């Protein structure tokens, strides 16, 4: 899965928020459903403790979800300083929105001058308390209980994925691979219903990882919605399915990627050899992961060779 990004690019606040929500929905996720366990779910709060309202509630939930922020508090840079804190170097702000009212001079139907009350949408930069140091204790997330490790952890699979040797970090509530950093980010296993789904998701991201220029060299510089993006996601899904069969992992997690089906249909309808090509690349990816993890990938390599020749 591609990394969710906060971006502006000169967009208006409304357009920026809408475009990100569309992206999240297209990725098959509902951005206002909170997945965290072990912490109370709260509406986003201003530094004074007043809850945000309207679109800010859902927007700041979504940003916190993507970044893994647990504190419900948000504040401006100056508010953080007034509280004795300091935004950490390198932290990125996000926007909060508000409507500013003003009077506009207009000509009425009777030809006389008059005024109308109008509102314009404005934005300002805020940081989550988790991005700040030295804030009072009240701004820290208070865990109701420790996250519970799900069932199904297997030492053999832990060893296998560790032996693959990918740069893996656990942070936030999204899984993605970053080609520039050559790094996989995964949520902690406690955020999954079971370790089988954790392993299956990791297999998907590792499949993207194989496409790096230092490994199999696939095209990873693609945008969501493009044909090349759909093709790479198809490769990763097929590779994850192969790994699932080899390692005994579930394939039910593929349902979470149902939003890609329309793109895949478009891709396959436009190129009747796309599936053969994707299957060959998926076999190469799965074979590499199996080999690095210490399992025989000879069968996958032979199949990949056959499919590559056919493609």
- Asked whether residue 191 falls in the same domain as residue 235, the answer is yes
Residues 269 and 187 in one domain: yes
Q: Average of pLDDT values for 35-63?
A: 78
Residues 179-197 have a mean pLDDT of: 90
Q: What is the mean pLDDT of residues 114-120?
A: 79
Same domain (yes/no): 161, 124: no
150 domain residue, yes or no: no
| 233 contacts 257 by C-beta, under 8 angstroms | yes
Last residue of a domain, one of 139, 166, 181: 139
Q: Flag whether 144 is in a domain.
A: no
Query: What's the chain's average pLDDT?
Result: 80
Q: What is the model's pLDDT at position 215?
A: 96
The residue ranking higher by pLDDT, 148 or 27, is 148
Tell me if 120 sits within 8 A of 100, measured CB to CB: yes
Higher pLDDT, 24 or 62: 62
End residue of a domain, out of 110, 139, 168: 139
Per-residue tokens: 45: 């709060």
What CA–CA distance (Å, rounded) separates 105 from 115? 5
Residue 6 corresponds to which tokens in the numbers above? 């906060």
Residue at token pair 């891709």: 267
Pick the residue with more confidence: 252 or 279? Answer: 279
pLDDT the model gives residue 78: 97
**Residue 84 included in any domain:** yes
Q: What is the pLDDT of residue 304?
A: 43
Say if residue 266 is in the same domain as residue 195: yes
Cα distance between residue 70 and residue 40, in whole Å: 9
Q: What pLDDT shows up at residue 80? A: 97
Number of domains in the chain: 2
Same domain, residue pair 176 and 59:
no
Question: What pLDDT score was predicted for residue 93?
Answer: 95
Same domain, 201 and 284: yes
- Examine residue 163 and state whether it is found in any structural domain, yes or no: yes
- Within this chain, do residues 301 and 199 fall inside the same structural domain, yes or no? yes
| Mean pLDDT of all residues in 269-292 | 87
In 3D, which of 152, 155, 242, 159 has the Cα closest to residue 193? 152
pLDDT score for 299:
45
Closest to 75 measured CA to CA, from 58, 87, 88: 87
- For the segment 116-130, the average pLDDT, to the nearest whole number, is 88
Could you tell me the two tokens for 234? 């198809």
Q: Return the minimum-mean-pLDDT range out of 82-86, 178-182, 245-249.
A: 245-249
On whether the CB atoms of residues 143 and 82 are closer than 8 A, the answer is: no
Assess whether 122 and 247 both reside in one domain. no
Distance CA(61)–CA(165), nearest Å, equals 33
Q: Are 109 and 28 part of one and the same domain? A: yes
Does position 118 have pLDDT exceeding 70, yes or no? Answer: yes
- The model's pTM is 0.58
Looking at the predicted structure, is the pLDDT value of residue 287 above 80? Answer: yes
Range of the domain at 222: 155-310
- Residues 202 and 116 grouped into a single domain: no
Cα–Cα distance between 100 and 178 in angstroms, integer?
Answer: 39
Region 27-32: mean pLDDT is 58
**225 within domain boundaries:** yes
Confidence at residue 131, expressed as pLDDT on a 0 to 100 scale: 95
Q: What is the pLDDT of residues 205-259, one digit of tens each?
A: 999 999 999 999 998 887 666 778 888 988 998 888 889 888 988 655 444 444 5
In a domain, 148, yes or no: no
Residues 159 and 290 both lie in one domain: yes
In this structure, the answer to whether residues 19 and 105 fall within a common structural domain is yes
Among 113, 139, 165, the domain boundary falls at 139
pLDDT at 255: 45
Q: Does residue 273 fall inside a structural domain?
A: yes
Please check whether residue 171 lies inside any domain of the structure. yes
């Amino acid at each position: 899965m591609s990394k969710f990004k906060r971006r502006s690019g000169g967009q208006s606040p409304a357009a920026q928020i809408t475009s990100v929500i569309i992206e999240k929905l297209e990725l098959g996720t509902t951005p206002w459903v909170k997945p965290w366990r072990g912490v109370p779910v709260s509406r986003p709060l201003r530094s004074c403790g007043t809850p945000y309202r309207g679109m800010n509630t859902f927007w700041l939930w979504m940003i916190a979800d993507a970044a893994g922020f647990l504190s419900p508090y948000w504040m401006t840079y100056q508010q953080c300083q007034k509280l004795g804190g300091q935004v950490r170097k390198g932290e990125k702000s996000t926007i909060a929105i508000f409507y500013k009212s003003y009077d506009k001079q207009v000509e009425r139907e009777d030809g006389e001058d008059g005024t109308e009350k109008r509102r314009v949408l404005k934005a300002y930069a805020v940081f989550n308390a988790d991005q700040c140091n030295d804030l009072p204790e009240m701004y820290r997330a208070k865990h109701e209980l420790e996250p519970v490790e799900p069932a199904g952890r297997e030492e053999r699979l832990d060893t296998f994925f560790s032996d693959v040797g990918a740069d893996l970090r656990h942070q936030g509530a999204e899984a993605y691979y970053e080609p520039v950093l050559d790094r996989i980010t995964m949520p902690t296993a406690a955020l999954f219903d079971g370790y089988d789904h954790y392993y299956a998701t990791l297999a998907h991201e590792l499949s993207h990882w194989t496409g790096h220029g230092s490994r199999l060299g696939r095209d990873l510089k693609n945008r969501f919605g493009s044909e090349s993006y759909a093709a790479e996601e198809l490769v990763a899904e097929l590779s994850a399915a192969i790994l699932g069969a080899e390692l005994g992992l579930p394939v039910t997690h593929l349902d979470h990627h149902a939003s890609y089906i329309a793109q895949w249909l478009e891709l396959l309808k436009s190129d009747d050899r796309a599936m053969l090509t994707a299957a060959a690349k998926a076999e190469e990816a799965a074979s590499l992961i199996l080999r690095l993890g210490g399992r025989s990938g000879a069968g996958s390599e032979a199949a990949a060779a056959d499919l590559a020749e056919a493609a």
